[in-house]
Amino acid sequence: MITSILRVLLTRSFKPLVFINKTVDDLEFDVDKFGIYVHIPFCKTLCSFCPYYKVQYNEALAKNYKEALLKEIIMAGTVHKNKNITSVYFGGGTPALMINELKEIISTIKENFNIEDTIGIELHPRDINETLLEKLKNIGFDMVSIGIQSFQESCLNTLGREPIDNESKVKLVSDFGFKVIDVDLIFGMSKQTKEELSKDFITAFKAGATQVSTYPFIDFSYANNKHKPLGRKEKKELLNCLDETSNNIECDRTSVWTFGKKQTSKYSSITRDLYIGFGPSAATLTKKIFGVNTFSVEEYIKSIENGKSAKALFMNFNKRTRKIYWLFWNAYTLKLNNKAFYELFNETLEKAFGIELNLGKFLGLVKKVPEGYKLTKRGAYIYHLLEQKYTHQYIDKTWRLAGKAATPEEIKLY
């Protein structure tokens, strides 16, 4: 309900947000810089708590997928040749399952684009060993995100994860000297205590993490979770515990759910203002359109082999809704930068959202700073609640319906 009310108030319209299916050969970027996301959809085992598109690893299917992926990158390169890429991120799924193909994929990206900064990858701790890490360094990866979820065996059992020596895995990654080492943790799972979460947080940094991303356990409607998440009150106590533990070990809170060591590089895979996505389920964001590739490896391969775009869903932004999208995801970083907003929209934050920002200041959710605005602790908590509502009402519905049909006709988000 609250998400629907905010949608009406912010968009100043009762119309729903709508994804439609249509044919678009390319999405033009009228900018010189954007990010790249590459989705590797294969996993050895399918974790029930993970909502992302994934399929069981099959060597023959993975081979065909790689060929299609290279073609999609080249197709995009013909439109955006030599444009600057602010970062490249490989997510999944389990990207390490295609370690022997990653060098060719990166080379193809470099042949078509100019990579300026970080190349990152998600890793399942089970796959981490010296051979893998050496290959990643040689290819050019300088950022890794390790899906630890928890160092506690009881919590791993709740998630259905096999217990392994996760601490030694993080230490091994640290020994290889990656610029950014992110450890993903989950909080709010059934029976999880503040003591367990605080211990997880401290263990991650002691083992060598440069930042820790802590995500609330969300039970997606299409997931097969045996255990339900903790309630709102318990999650709030755990979030406060994270904030307090971070302060105790002198870390910076770099987003609503991310904490990093001081004076170290920070990274987030979800806060790019503009990006292009490759692979099934990957999204692309321009100034005017949000496009999503088909949630089917087979359909993806078929489309690319026929020389067509793999994008199955599009949302056409009007000027207002595009600015709201920027506002929502930049608020996740706890900062709203006026310069960045102006460069993208040729308008100040105050002109676009003067009423909303003044109300936010009145309610103690944001405060004015020289660069723009910053979320207060209260504002960060309200965002924590809203993001979970947004996930349940919008992301869950979109991914669930996209997973049922390779090319859905229409998805309306009220």
Final residue before a domain boundary, out of 240, 261, 282: 261
Whether 341 and 232 map to the same domain: the answer is: no
344 inside domain: yes
In order, the DSSP letters of 168-220 are HHHHHHHHTT-SEEEEEEEES-TT--HHHHHHHHHHHHHHT-SEEEEEE----
Residue 242 and residue 380 in contact, taking contact as beta carbons nearer than 8 Å: no
Whether 244 and 346 map to the same domain: the answer is: no
278 inside domain: no
Whether 251 and 342 map to the same domain: the answer is: no
Whether 254 and 135 map to the same domain: the answer is: yes
Structure tokens at 231: 């309630």
Query: Cα(26)–Cα(11) distance, rounded to whole angstroms?
Result: 27
395: left (phi over 0), alpha (psi -120 to 50) or beta: alpha
Return per-residue pLDDT of the chain as tens, 414 residues: 788 888 999 999 999 999 998 755 556 666 778 999 999 999 999 998 999 999 999 999 999 999 999 999 999 998 888 899 999 999 999 999 999 999 999 999 999 999 998 999 999 999 999 999 999 999 999 999 999 999 999 999 999 998 999 999 999 999 999 999 999 999 999 999 999 999 999 999 999 999 999 999 999 999 888 899 999 999 999 999 999 999 999 999 999 999 999 988 888 777 788 999 999 999 999 999 999 999 999 999 999 999 999 999 999 999 999 999 999 999 999 999 999 999 999 999 999 999 999 999 999 999 999 999 999 999 999 999 999 999 999 999 999 999 999 889 899 999
Whether 200 and 348 map to the same domain: the answer is: no
17 inside domain: no
**Domain span at residue 348?**
334-406
231 inside domain: yes
Residue 270 and residue 232 in contact, taking contact as beta carbons nearer than 8 Å: no
Helix (H) / strand (E) element for 375: namely: strand 372-375
Structure tokens at 147: 């899906």
238 inside domain: yes
- Give the rounded distance of the alpha carbon of 388 from its chain centre: 14
Cα angle 43-46-51, degrees, rounded to a multiple of 5:
105
412 inside domain: no
pTM equals 0.95
In the chain, the amino acid numbered 316 is: N
Q: Which residues contact 15 (CB under 8 A, 6 or more apart)?
A: none
65 inside domain: yes
* Number of domains within the chain: 2
Whether 350 and 227 map to the same domain: the answer is: no
Instruction: Specify the CATH number for the domain of residue 144.
Output: 3.20.20.70
Query: Cα(26)–Cα(197) distance, rounded to whole angstroms?
Result: 45
Whether 256 and 357 map to the same domain: the answer is: no
Final residue before a domain boundary, out of 238, 261, 284: 261
Whether 364 and 242 map to the same domain: the answer is: no
Whether 251 and 350 map to the same domain: the answer is: no
Query: Cα(163)–Cα(210) distance, rounded to whole angstroms?
Result: 23
Whether 62 and 193 map to the same domain: the answer is: yes
Final residue before a domain boundary, out of 213, 240, 261: 261
Within 10 angstroms of residue 92's Cβ, the number of other Cβ atoms is 25
324 inside domain: no
Whether 127 and 255 map to the same domain: the answer is: yes
Query: Cα(248)–Cα(81) distance, rounded to whole angstroms?
Result: 47
Query: Cα(296)–Cα(382) distance, rounded to whole angstroms?
Result: 35
Whether 161 and 54 map to the same domain: the answer is: yes
